[in-house]
Structure 1
Amino acid sequence: MATKNVKSNKPSGSKSKQNPDKSKLKAHSNTLKSQLNETKATGLIDGVFIFTGPITISEFGKKINKNVAEIVKYFFKSGGMVTPNTSLTEEQIGELALEFGFDFKKEVEVTKSNIFETLQVDDNEADLKARPAVVTIMGHVDHGKTTLLDSIRNTNINVTDGEFGGITQHIGAYQIKTDKNQKITFIDTPGHEAFTEMRARGADVTDIVILVVAADDGVMPQTEEAIDHAKAAAVPIIVFVNKIDKPGADSNRVKTELMRFNIVAEEFGGDVPFIEGSAKNRQGLENLLETIILVSELKELKANPEKFATGTVIEAHLSKSRGPMATVLVQHGTLNMRNLVVAGATYGLIKDMENENGAKVKSALPSQPVVLVGLNEVPRAGDKFMVVSEEKMARDIAEAQLERQIQESRNKAQSFTLDSIKNQIDQGNLKSVNVILKADTQGSVEAVRNSLQKITIPGVKLDVIRATVGAISNSDITLALASNAIVYGFNVRPTAQVRQKADEDGVEVRLHTIIYKVIEELEEAAKGMLDPIFEEKVLGQAEVRQIFKHSQVGTIAGCHVIDGVIPRGSKLRILRDGIIIYTGELSSLKHVKEEIKEAKKDQDCGLTIKNFNDIKENDIIEVYKVEEVK
């Protein structure tokens, strides 16, 4: 009903204010279409090899006008087993380009599935305007996070009313004005897990983290977890030492304890601001807000409000009366009523737009959160959104994003295991292993961490991003998901719920009770990340003396072993006049009518080759094996 009233009460002259200028909309549409339709020129251009993605050896040879045999020979020399149809990784393309004497460059093509990451809209420096900082409050339970936010908002509506234990039960976003009319946006999360869940989807929305620590309680387990998540996000931290008015409050103790985590107060020569106060009594809030403004000014936060909006979904739910509703944070441009938006795998025309207090708004500027009504489905928290110009384009992008999400969910289970790390490296990723370590005692934690830090393997970085005492928790799994980490438990076990979350998120959890086993496994994993060297060993050769045709078996080659041995099930090559005409493996090996394990030199045998029948007399069958050199 409220939506209808808004529509019926629109002033006649409001259309031009709510809808962008037609020429601007057309220009935006042309930008999207041109980048989506743009085909990058590839190949050797002015001495630089340009490519957009993986290509085969055959295609690479054609583009640089080189014989494919030269390229295959290059890989054979370094122990690589390749064929003309082998697909080259980015790393291999660069390696080959340099080998043949020219530079290389990868061009990124904009597609409907990667448009949120790759779309280029250039901003003139003159168009960039200062924007408010986006701040997230984190810390241990009951240390006053929600009370602090409530006090900052300066409202009679208590965030904790009606919520169990005073813990925030949803994700929201709120914008406040200081006494000097400066704006700050606060992301209100139910904890660091939600913060990192969003970051795991690429939603880097936070500019500053406020770490709340109770002066009468000090650093607690969730404080440590909050620090880990804030550091992983690589954003500035401001510490608010809360409950300074309570008996037993000791701010110096908090500062000392935090030094263990490399959070050093400015008064001790560090770079982290510490604000003392009481959220309940509104003490120290003015100092905190001034510090946030100062840090944001040093970061020079800017955005262009003149272009069409892009941003991130903070929270979303399904309302029985109004349909899908999404809280979004505008990060660039201006979002207007009646804009057509794509948010992840959803899309729709904005029918209604409200601020955090439920008031109707017609537009939202950078760093401003608003609630949208009008999407066809409920998007995910952390999904990117953007304004588009045509419904068909919106639908096509949403469908492509859905396909991408489905593919990512299929691949997720293989993304964070020791076995799959090598594949990520082959795709050009950093050679590093992130580890989360949980143990039963502090002594065990320190012993294992110190041992891990002594592992030195050239080309591989081993990074322990968390090492704490206690059972493996959901927070550990969430941080592992966001940081591509493996969780190691020493004398601890996850609960059934934590194990289920790890399985769903595709995070590998490895459990041990012997310290050296943890060290040994990680060391082997790190060594395995180095590019392996393979060596081919020829086992034997047999000459085809006679051919037999069999209606059920196919072609049987009567052979004489001329060198070495021919083991059953071996890999083989068929040589005809010294040229390889087929590569495959033995299907069967017999002497007379009996199966044998191997045929030795000067012995006759009959054999069949898997999926190959075009064998001729005088062909040489060469069997071999490929061994990895440690």
Structure 2
Amino acid sequence: MSIYPLRPPVVTIMGHVDHGKTTLLDSLRKTSVAAGEAGGITQHIGAFSVTLPSKKTITFLDTPGHAAFTAMRARGAHVTDIVVLVVAADDGVKPQTIEAIQHAKDANVPLIVAINKIDKHDANLDIVREGLLKHEIFLEEDGGETQSIQVSALKGKGLDDLEEAIVALAEMLDIRAEVDIGCEGYVIESQVEKGRGNVATVLVKRGTLKVGSIIVAGRSWCKVRNMVDENGKTMKQVLPGTPVKVIGWKELPNAGDEVLEAENEDLAKKVTENRTLKHIREQQVKDLEVINEKRRQRKEEIHEERSQMRDMKRAVWMYYQGLLPEYPSRPPPVVKPTNEDEKQKEYDIYTSVIVIGDVSGTVEAVVNALDEVGNNEIRVDVIDFGVGDVTESDIQMAAATEGGIIIGFNVKAGKKVQSEASRLKVDILTFNIIYKLLEEVKSRLTSLLPPIIETHVTGEATILQIFQITVKGKQQKPIAGCRVTNGTILKNQRVRVMRGSRMIWEGALESLKQVKKDMTEVKKGMECGMGFDDNFEFQEGDLIQSIVTKEIPRSL
């Protein structure tokens, strides 16, 4: 047996949207998280510890179910010991269920399947089992090793069985960790909180985190000023397997960053400075690679152009020597090659947005979701993003780009900021449900797309004869003597004149008459004279079509 003490298992709840993950956690910790969530959808990772009646402690991570949060779910799977896969008995295995299975496999984490909503009339356990088998999840009742527990999160059925299954699996895994070493862990989430500044939820995996400790995460460091648990209780020290909100960060770390304790502030500063320099160098290398690639392409273009010029000069010389029968034609210009990435960046229309969110993981998910909105004509251009409330500098940046807008997610804009936005005519759109955000953005993009113009022919007439009439100033004007062959010719509609398959003119009728009587419409089989509001040469046999154009709005 290990000399290290046991620590609480870290359990991640995963599954498809609306399969009952948050309701399950709500029942486990006896709080009303589900009722407080906007739209019933968890918008960011929640981390908290639950003490069971058996006095055993389990740390739960609640990962969002919406498709836009795939990256966050993957991050959750890599800091967990056990995954509880929630599958609704009335819905079966769905896309995010499959993603969760893959994340767990990639992280080599054992699964417990919680088949939820078993109390519903259309529950079908066979469909759930068949869906899991397709993805190589073999349940114990089918001869496999994966435990499955039937639960009703809403009514609290089967929760004791689920707790026992988690505790039993944790005991079998013998999850232990050192407590007398420097703290190691992961940033689960980070945000800016009013009165607290930069705050990060840290899950301690090894060692003990204490107030006053110096820790480093990514390119940020922190002297722990204060720590609070999920209930707001102040903590002096935190043992492995426990999540806690850490206050005192110099900069916001990123969700998923590894947390390591440093001996002192000087070492922490040196580490973060080195990481920052490394990041800058990596960016510079990427930029240099792009520059070198463009230089290489230009070099190839110049080489090709010079080669074509030499070939052209040689061909001209051969023509004058009588070696070629015709003077050589000039070769086509060299077309600059483009790769697929460059092609994707060529858009006719785009909307510039700045994304501001309450937590870094959510901002990341929103930005990734916006990158998927659009088509080959229109896209969203995220020019900046950040964590915290909307500021005046955000408004000014948006105003600097034509049509720039601010998208806030779970954040507010103060009166002063709103006044600045009104002055600079910048729209601030705030949301707390991601699919509503995406719907609004799609709607705005759709409104920028040019409509589809449909032309409908309502009548056709053939020019049988051309007459000359005298108009003002004794000038002669040609009139088309026609017979309507199809539909109705209307005086107030536009017409086009077709010669074979080619349109030679489009415009309005100046006159529509039968003998000397003005007509508003002439129907099939009737003869009439037509004058046009433009001078062009029409001929006998030309086809005149009365047309109506409709603008059809487009959608993404």
Scaled by the length of structure 2, the TM-score of the pair is 0.50
For residues 133 and 502 of structure 1, what CA distance do their matches in structure 2 show? 42
- Tell whether 2:64 aligns with 1:186: no
* Residue pair 1:352, 1:360 contacting (<8 A) in 2 also: yes
What CA deviation, in whole Å up to 9, does each residue of 1:97-144 have, x standing for no partner? xxxxxxxxxxxxxxxxxxxxxxxxxxxx86411111111111111110
Q: CA deviation at 1:267?
A: 1.2
Select 2:162's aligned residue among 256, 272, 288.
Answer: 288
Cα distance 1:126–1:136, how it changes in 2: closer, same or farther (>3 A)? closer
The match for 1:344 is 218
* Residue pair 2:18, 2:65 contacting (<8 A) in 1 also: no
Q: CA deviation at 1:175?
A: 0.6
Q: Secondary structure in 2 aligned to 1:386?
A: strand
- Tell whether 2:28 aligns with 1:152: yes
For residues 242 and 41 of structure 2, what CA distance do their matches in structure 1 show? 24
Q: CA deviation at 1:203?
A: 8.4
The match for 1:496 is 374
The match for 2:233 is 359
* Residue pair 1:138, 1:192 contacting (<8 A) in 2 also: no
- Tell whether 2:88 aligns with 1:210: no
* AA in 2 matched with 1:289: E
* Residue pair 1:203, 1:383 contacting (<8 A) in 2 also: no
For residues 202 and 277 of structure 1, what CA distance do their matches in structure 2 show? 23
The match for 1:527 is none
* Residue pair 2:41, 2:65 contacting (<8 A) in 1 also: no
* Residue pair 2:21, 2:62 contacting (<8 A) in 1 also: no
- Tell whether 2:107 aligns with 1:233: yes
Question: Identity of counterpart residues, as a percentage?
Answer: 46
For residues 141 and 405 of structure 1, what CA distance do their matches in structure 2 show? 35
Select 1:142's aligned residue among 11, 15, 18.
Answer: 18
For residues 149 and 336 of structure 1, what CA distance do their matches in structure 2 show? 28
What CA deviation, in whole Å up to 9, does each residue of 1:195-227 have, x standing for no partner? 863687798311111111111111222222222
* Residue pair 1:308, 1:335 contacting (<8 A) in 2 also: yes
Q: CA deviation at 1:405?
A: 3.9
For residues 153 and 409 of structure 1, what CA distance do their matches in structure 2 show? 44
Select 1:254's aligned residue among 124, 128, 135.
Answer: 128
Q: CA deviation at 1:297?
A: 1.6
Cα distance 1:205–1:280, how it changes in 2: closer, same or farther (>3 A)? same
For residues 19 and 202 of structure 2, what CA distance do their matches in structure 1 show? 28
For residues 410 and 329 of structure 1, what CA distance do their matches in structure 2 show? 33
The match for 1:456 is none
* Residue pair 2:6, 2:174 contacting (<8 A) in 1 also: yes
The match for 2:353 is none
Q: CA deviation at 1:251?
A: 1.5
The match for 1:368 is 242
Cα distance 1:268–1:202, how it changes in 2: closer, same or farther (>3 A)? closer
Cα distance 1:260–1:205, how it changes in 2: closer, same or farther (>3 A)? same
The match for 1:447 is none
* Residue pair 1:201, 1:383 contacting (<8 A) in 2 also: no
Cα distance 1:257–1:196, how it changes in 2: closer, same or farther (>3 A)? closer
What CA deviation, in whole Å up to 9, does each residue of 1:362-417 have, x standing for no partner? 010001000011111110001111221221111011112223444556778999xx
For residues 372 and 133 of structure 1, what CA distance do their matches in structure 2 show? 21
* AA in 2 matched with 1:220: K
Q: Secondary structure in 2 aligned to 1:297?
A: helix
For residues 375 and 65 of structure 2, what CA distance do their matches in structure 1 show? 18
The match for 1:299 is 173
Cα distance 1:194–1:496, how it changes in 2: closer, same or farther (>3 A)? closer
Cα distance 1:347–1:146, how it changes in 2: closer, same or farther (>3 A)? same
* AA in 1 matched with 2:233: A
Q: Secondary structure in 2 aligned to 1:350?
A: strand
Q: Secondary structure in 1 aligned to 2:157?
A: coil
The match for 1:167 is 41
Q: CA deviation at 1:335?
A: 0.6
Q: Secondary structure in 2 aligned to 1:401?
A: helix
Q: CA deviation at 1:502?
A: 13
* AA in 2 matched with 1:255: R
For residues 502 and 200 of structure 1, what CA distance do their matches in structure 2 show? 26
What CA deviation, in whole Å up to 9, does each residue of 1:242-261 have, x standing for no partner? 00011111222211221111
Q: How does 1:519-530 map to 2 (within 5 A)?
A: none
For residues 23 and 227 of structure 2, what CA distance do their matches in structure 1 show? 27
What CA deviation, in whole Å up to 9, does each residue of 1:410-439 have, x standing for no partner? 778999xxx9xxxxxxxxxxxxxxxxxxxx
Cα distance 1:501–1:307, how it changes in 2: closer, same or farther (>3 A)? farther
What CA deviation, in whole Å up to 9, does each residue of 1:50-92 have, x standing for no partner? xxxxxxxxxxxxxxxxxxxxxxxxxxxxxxxxxxxxxxxxxxx
* AA in 2 matched with 1:496: G
Q: CA deviation at 1:192?
A: 7.9
For residues 277 and 202 of structure 1, what CA distance do their matches in structure 2 show? 23
Select 2:185's aligned residue among 305, 311, 318.
Answer: 311
- In structure 1, the gaps of 5 or more residues are 1-124, 420-477, 482-492, 505-630
Cα distance 1:384–1:497, how it changes in 2: closer, same or farther (>3 A)? farther
Select 1:391's aligned residue among 265, 285, 291.
Answer: 265
Q: Secondary structure in 1 aligned to 2:153?
A: coil
What CA deviation, in whole Å up to 9, does each residue of 1:21-57 have, x standing for no partner? xxxxxxxxxxxxxxxxxxxxxxxxxxxxxxxxxxxxx
For residues 197 and 407 of structure 1, what CA distance do their matches in structure 2 show? 25
Q: CA deviation at 1:230?
A: 2.1
- Tell whether 2:94 aligns with 1:220: yes
Cα distance 1:494–1:327, how it changes in 2: closer, same or farther (>3 A)? closer
Cα distance 1:400–1:201, how it changes in 2: closer, same or farther (>3 A)? farther
Q: CA deviation at 1:307?
A: 1.2
For residues 74 and 41 of structure 2, what CA distance do their matches in structure 1 show? 23
Cα distance 1:502–1:142, how it changes in 2: closer, same or farther (>3 A)? farther
Cα distance 1:320–1:503, how it changes in 2: closer, same or farther (>3 A)? closer
* Residue pair 2:67, 2:96 contacting (<8 A) in 1 also: no
Cα distance 1:190–1:202, how it changes in 2: closer, same or farther (>3 A)? closer
* AA in 1 matched with 2:160: E
For residues 341 and 299 of structure 1, what CA distance do their matches in structure 2 show? 29
- Tell whether 2:1 aligns with 1:128: no
Number of aligned residue pairs: 304
Q: How does 1:413-432 map to 2 (within 5 A)?
A: none
Q: CA deviation at 1:333?
A: 0.5
* AA in 2 matched with 1:295: L
* Residue pair 2:64, 2:73 contacting (<8 A) in 1 also: no
Q: CA deviation at 1:277?
A: 1.1
The match for 2:343 is none
Cα distance 1:262–1:128, how it changes in 2: closer, same or farther (>3 A)? same
Cα distance 1:412–1:239, how it changes in 2: closer, same or farther (>3 A)? farther
* Residue pair 1:192, 1:226 contacting (<8 A) in 2 also: no
The match for 2:468 is none
Q: Secondary structure in 2 aligned to 1:351?
A: strand
Q: Secondary structure in 2 aligned to 1:129?
A: coil
What CA deviation, in whole Å up to 9, does each residue of 1:587-616 have, x standing for no partner? xxxxxxxxxxxxxxxxxxxxxxxxxxxxxx
User: Which one has a bigger Cα radius of gyration?
Assistant: 2
* AA in 1 matched with 2:56: Q
